[in-house]
Amino acid sequence: MKVLWMTVAACALSALLIWSWSAHSRLDPSSDTLLLLLPDGANLSDPKVTVWFDAASEEGLHVFPIHDSELVRPFFGLPQCAGLIIPDTIHPQASDYLIAGIRSFVNSGGKLMLVYDAGTLSPQGRYAPGGSRLSDLAGVDYAFYEKLQDHAIQWDSIRSSSEIIRELNIPPGKYYPLEATNEAAANWPDGGFEVQLRRYLYGALSYPSFATSANYSGHVLFRSGAGIVAGEHAYGNGLVLFVNLPLGYLKANTDGLLLHAFLKYFAGHLLSLPFLTSVPDGVGGVVLNWHVDSNAAIKPLQEMSSWTIMQQGPYSIHITAGPDEMRFGDHEGFDVANNSFSQDFIRKQVARGDQIGSHGGWIHDYFATHVDKESPAMMEHFLAWNNRDLEQVMGKPVREYSAPHGNQPKWVTSWLEAHGFLAYYFTGNTGMAPTQGYRDGMREGQNIWAFPILHLNQAAAFEEMEQEGYSHLEVEHWLEAVSQFAADHHSVRLVYFHPPGVINYRDVVDKWMQQTGSLQTEGRFRWYTMTDLARFLNSRKQVNWTISDEAGHIAIAASHPQSLDHFTWRLPASRFTQPVIEGGTARVVRDDDSWMVIAGDSKQVRFETKLVSK
């Protein structure tokens, strides 16, 4: 009798949830809010949670928490939202009541982003015998723990089409090949050729995903040997973006590209939300990061002084300043304190607007091979000496950094931020825009920004491309694709090189400068330095903006304690009419398929728009 009563009660609650959604739901597709579903009692400062909030902030989106009990409360409905996200790692357990609430939300027209292991466990920590209880929402059966046990999760490279990968804002080189080949000619419904995600130095990336059944009725975005890795699936009147990857875990461990990519895809491609761009005036660009390791760079730098590259910029130029390179006493360093060419070079580059940064600690190879082995108390002296020599020549503080051989233990990041550094080159999170990094599950720093490198397949520096056998034409196409990507996606990526390695590529660099020069003339591209962009991004954190909707009349209000100058919002023109400035200083321009509202020098801006009539 007790079991029967519980069954009846569960069915009644499910029906009540469906009724409350249809009759009292406050779902409003014009709202820009995304809700992150968290277990009751979840700590909002838990890094497993903050990775999502930080990613949303960096992408210019609004994500707010909602707890399980708020989702399933009858009569009250859900707070206004554009979509709901159920994250991985932090939300593996879910009650039957909660799953009924999620189904009701989507069935009523809601948009859901369902990630990896979310909801795969009962409140008691048990797996459903036939697979995930959310398989109907995902559009595919998965999480077969009872059947597959240790093989329920499988590691494999993930594949997509060239068309889909571009919609996901993944930059060229992070996927490969760049152009169709016989090997890449797999059939995809959208007609694109097949590409793989790649890793710097190591090639193909493998990711864990749940093995899935063969049948999937949705639009495939990624797949692997395990089955469906990501896809869109219609459910009732709503839509589910299923991402069969541990996005939050990956971001917390220096691989945040996919969390950002799918979050932006969900918000932009599926929901058409407005967002605050991460670049001044909405103009994308490239950080070109020079690494000067030793006196081997002197002759190449002399030769490069006549190249067309010196007609553009500014650039981020990082120098190892000591007299030695590999070992003490070898006299192969750039020797900033004593070498007249080194000093003149620094002063000249500072005068033209470049930022001089610190490349490790005073002696390039020794520092690179000992920084993670010796005590921080011993190795930090090398960092201080490098800064001292550079600052004495250029007459101002050093604010950006790159690690020799990419070796940057966590203590170095802490030391940099404590000494006023704003940015550092990073070999993790490859392919991403500047980001506030996580490592080993924890956030690194508060106001210091990681600038991940972008690579061509598994090579990043020109000498690596030469060693890997890439043709000059392929390198040229990649560089041009990177700057075009930055312009089209209103974003920034970092490309780096060593002067000795670039010398054989003058023809490639000259052609690249022709393309970037044309994009600059069109007002669609800029060169950025790490320091300038990090300052902008730190100021951007202080932008407070809200959106309100009264019967399809949309008002966006923004404020900043100093000035909103150069901050920019993008609104899809397919959904919003041309914005009208109602307060403060701003201008509106049309850019391809979007409106851009570019703020001027005022502390507050208000603009209004309407939903496009369908």
Instruction: Give the pLDDT confidence score for residue 549 in this predicted structure.
Output: 85
| Mean pLDDT value across residues 523-545 | 98
Backbone angles phi, psi at 356, to 5 degrees: -90, 125
| Mean pLDDT value across residues 190-197 | 86
Q: In sequence order, which residues have a C-beta less than 8 Å from that of residue 371 and are 6 or more positions away?
A: 360, 361, 379, 403, 407, 408, 409, 412
- pLDDT tier, 11 (very low <50, low <70, confident <90, very high otherwise): very low
Tokens of 159: 């594949």
Tokens of 23: 């009759």
Instruction: Give the pLDDT confidence score for residue 23 in this predicted structure.
Output: 30
Q: Pick the more confident residue, 379 or 30.
A: 379
The CA–CA distances, whole Å, from 178 to 175, 184, 287, 396, 472 equal 7, 10, 21, 42, 14
Position 80 pLDDT exceeds 90:
no
| Mean pLDDT value across residues 591-597 | 95
Instruction: Give the pLDDT confidence score for residue 182 in this predicted structure.
Output: 66
pLDDT tens, residue by residue, 414-428: 999 999 999 999 999
| Mean pLDDT value across residues 177-198 | 79
pLDDT tens, residue by residue, 82-99: 999 999 999 999 999 999
Mean pLDDT estimate for the chain = 92
pLDDT tens, residue by residue, 202-233: 888 999 999 999 889 899 999 999 999 999 99
Residue 64 · residue 36 · CB < 8 Å: yes
Q: Where are the beta strands (DSSP E) in 135-269?
A: 153-157, 159-161, 175-176, 194-199, 203-204, 206-210, 219-224, 227-235, 238-243
Closest CA to 555 of 571, 566, 539: 571
Radius of gyration of the chain (CA): 26
Q: List, in sequence order, the alpha helices (H) in 433-586.
A: 462-468, 472-489, 499-502, 506-521, 530-540
> Across-strand partners of 558?
545, 605
For the domain made up of 2-137+234-274, the CATH class stated in words is alpha beta
Q: How many CB atoms lie within 10 A of CB 357?
A: 28
> Across-strand partners of 194?
161
Instruction: Give the pLDDT confidence score for residue 77 in this predicted structure.
Output: 66
- State the amino acid at position 37 in one-letter form: L
Instruction: Give the pLDDT confidence score for residue 128 in this predicted structure.
Output: 84
3-state secondary structure at position 262: helix
> Across-strand partners of 548?
555
The side-by-side arrangement of strands in the sheet containing 586-591 is: 275-276, 568-572, 594-599, 586-591
Tokens of 153: 């999760």
Closest CA to 289 of 426, 413, 437: 426
Is the alpha carbon torsion for 54, 55, 61, 62 positive or negative?
negative
Instruction: Give the pLDDT confidence score for residue 508 in this predicted structure.
Output: 98
Number of H-type helices and E-type strands within the chain: 19, 31
* Cα 462 to the center of its chain, rounded Å: 24
87/92 Cα distance (integer angstroms): 9
Residue 169 · residue 256 · CB < 8 Å: no
∠ CA 398-491-579, nearest 5°, is: 120
Considering the domain 542-610, what is its CATH architecture? Sandwich (2.60)
3-state secondary structure at position 456: strand
Position 76 pLDDT exceeds 80:
no
Instruction: Give the pLDDT confidence score for residue 9 in this predicted structure.
Output: 36
Considering the domain 280-536, what is its CATH architecture? Alpha-Beta Barrel (3.20)
Position 2 pLDDT exceeds 50:
no
Residue 220 · residue 211 · CB < 8 Å: no
173/481 Cα distance (integer angstroms): 9
Q: How many CB atoms lie within 10 A of CB 368?
A: 21
Q: In sequence order, which residues have a C-beta less than 8 Å from that of residue 552 and are 6 or more positions away?
A: 30, 610, 611
Domain ranges of the chain: 2-137+234-274, 280-536, 542-610
pTM for this prediction: 0.93
Position 580 pLDDT exceeds 60:
yes
Run of H or E residues at 58: helix 47-58
Decide the pairing of beta strands 492-497 and 206-210: unpaired
Position 8 pLDDT exceeds 60:
no
Instruction: Give the pLDDT confidence score for residue 183 in this predicted structure.
Output: 65
Tokens of 388: 């001292």
Position 459 pLDDT exceeds 70:
yes
Tokens of 612: 């496009």
